[in-house]
Amino acid sequence: MRRIFFLLATLIVLTASASAQDKTILYVPIDNRPCNLYQVVQVAQKLGYEILTPPADLIGSKTFKGDPDELFLWLDDNAPKAQAAVVSTDALLYGSLVASRTHDLDAQTILERAERFKTFHELYPSLPIYAFGTIMRTPRSGSASSAEPDYYKTYGATIFNYTVLLDKQEMNKLSGGDKRKLNRLEADIPKEYLDDWFMRRAKNSDANERFIELTRAGVFDYFLLGCDDSAMYSQTHRESRHLTELGADLGKTAFQVTSGADELGMLMIARAINYSMNATPFVSVLYNAGTGADTFPAYCNEPIGVSVDAAIVAAGGLQIPSHERADLILAVNTREDGKTFEAAVAKKNKLKLRGDLKDFLKPVKKLVAAGRPVAIADISFANGADNALMNQIKRDDLQFKIRAYGGWNTATNSSGFLIGAGVLTPYMTDKDVAELLITRYLDEWAYQANVRNEIVGASYGIAGEGTPMDLKEKLPPLEKLLNERMSAFAAENLRLPKKWRLEDLQFRLPWQRTFECESRFKLVG
The CA-CA-CA angle for residues 275, 280, 283, to 5°, reads 135
Three-state secondary structure call for residue 63: coil
Average pLDDT estimate for 177-193: 95
Predicted confidence at residue 20, as pLDDT, reads 62
Determine phi and psi for 236, rounding to 5 degrees. Answer: -60, -45
Taking the C-alpha atoms of residue 49 and residue 28, their distance in angstroms, rounded to an integer, is 15
pLDDT band at residue 21 using 50, 70 and 90 as cut-offs: confident
Measured distance CA(317)–CA(268) in Å, rounded = 12
Per-residue model confidence (pLDDT) at position 146: 59
Please state the pTM of the whole predicted model: 0.94
Mean pLDDT along residues 29-47: 98
Residue 132 reports pLDDT greater than 80 = yes
Measured CA distances, 283 to 224, 278, 288, 308, 328 (Å): 19, 16, 17, 10, 5
- Dump the DSSP string for 104-164: ---HHHHHHHHHHHHHHHHHSTTS-EEEEEEEPP--SS--TT-SS-TTHHHHHHHHHHHHH
**Which positions ≥6 away from 336 have C-beta within 8 Å?**
288, 289, 290, 291, 355, 356
Residue pLDDT, tens place only, 339-396:
999 998 988 999 999 999 999 999 999 999 999 999 999 999 999 999 999 999 999 9
**Residue 331 forms beta bridges with which residues?**
286, 376
pLDDT score, position 95: 97
% of the chain exceeding 90 in pLDDT: 91
Task: Indicate the pLDDT class of residue 439, thresholds 50, 70 and 90.
Answer: very high
Residue 70 has pLDDT above 50, yes or no: yes
State the pLDDT confidence band at 19, using cuts at 50, 70 and 90.
Answer: low
Give residue 17's pLDDT.
Answer: 40
Q: Is the pLDDT of residue 209 over 60?
A: yes
What is the per-residue pLDDT for 1? 40
Residue 87 has pLDDT above 70, yes or no: yes
